Copies of this chain bind each other. A is one copy, B any other.
Amino acid sequence: MTDVVPEIATADGPPRRGRPPVSEEQRQRQRLDISRHAVRLFAEQGVAGTSGEQIAQAAGVSERTFWRYFPHKESCVEPLLTRSVDAFCAVLRAWPADLELIDHLREAYTPVVDSSSDEDVDAVLDVVRLTHGEPALRAVYLMLHERAEAALVDVLARRLGQPSGAIDVRVQAAAMSAVLRVATDDVAQATVGGVTADMLDGHREQLARALSLVLRGLAQAVGG
């Protein structure tokens, strides 16, 4: 967001000296890498059966730095899951004012993860499936969707010309994020034996249809 080229000093302070902090991007990549290892271990031996030490070892970092990257071991699934949820939010942010939502999604949305490797698609779906039967992971999943909800509030408030605190905006955003969650759970359940492009397309249609229905009802509330 507020990036500056590392050469120049931050704002007007004294010129930077010493080792520069690692870039946020690199940090995210590190977290994602650990996340992949953690998810594999969680799937193999359950969450309770995997210790932080084990994850750290698998990822090739010390236990201490592992705990620096993740406050709780369950949050290891966050980097992978975020990719899926954030992709959806990004598409919503780019929703043109003169286009029906359903058409925009058909145009711009690739479900689960956008522009990502096949392995990550599988990994994300694995995590979603894991969240059933692993309450701790489910809690992380739900928290993530609530973060998405906050993003949707911003999008909808701007689109509807209402303050982001407006109750109608918040209801609409909550309903949309709930629909996204149900649809995601659904596609994860449907793809236990492997995922095909057809399935993802079906998911998009289902999601678009359900979202349209929710919005149809709510649009009347805000005079749409």
A-to-B contact residues, CB < 8 Å: 135, 138-140, 142-143, 146, 167-168, 170-171, 174-175, 177-179, 181-183, 186, 206, 209-210, 213-218, 220-221
Q: How far, in whole Å, are A181 and B146 apart by their CA atoms in the complex?
A: 11
Asked if B217 and A171 sit within 8 Å, CB to CB, the answer is no
**Distance of A102 Cα from B183 Cα, bound (Å):** 27
Task: Point out the residue from B139, B167, B213 that lies within 8 Å of A217, measured CB to CB.
Answer: B213
Main secondary structure of the interface of A (DSSP, over half): helix
The 28 sampled A-B contact pairs (Cβ below 8 Å) are: A135-B143, A138-B143, A139-B142, A139-B143, A142-B142, A167-B186, A167-B210, A170-B186, A171-B179, A171-B182, A171-B183, A174-B178, A174-B179, A174-B181, A174-B182, A175-B178, A177-B178, A178-B178, A209-B221, A210-B221, A213-B218, A213-B220, A213-B221, A214-B217, A215-B217, A216-B216, A217-B217, A217-B218
A221–B215 Cα distance when bound, in Å, is 12
The chain B residue sitting closest to A140, CB to CB, is B139
The chain B residue sitting closest to A177, CB to CB, is B178
Docked complex Cα distance between A208 and B217 (Å): 14
Which of B183, B215, B216 contacts A220 (CB under 8 A)? B216
Measured CA separation A216–B183 after assembly (Å): 20
* Copy total for this chain: 2
| Contact (Cβ within 8 A) B206 A167 | yes
Query: Is the CB–CB distance between B170 and A182 below 8 Å?
Result: yes
**For the complex, what is the distance from the CA of A181 to the CA of B213, rounded to whole Å?**
20
Nearest-CB residue, chain B, relative to A221: B213
Task: Determine the distance from Cα of A214 to Cα of B213 in the docked complex, in whole angstroms.
Answer: 9
Q: Assuming A170-B182, A213-B217, what are 10 further A-B pairs, CB within 8 angstroms?
A: A170-B186, A171-B214, A174-B178, A175-B179, A175-B214, A178-B178, A209-B221, A213-B221, A214-B214, A217-B218
Distance of A132 from chain B, by nearest CB (Å): 11
A104 to B142, CA, bound (A): 30
In the complex, A183→B206 CA distance in Å? 27
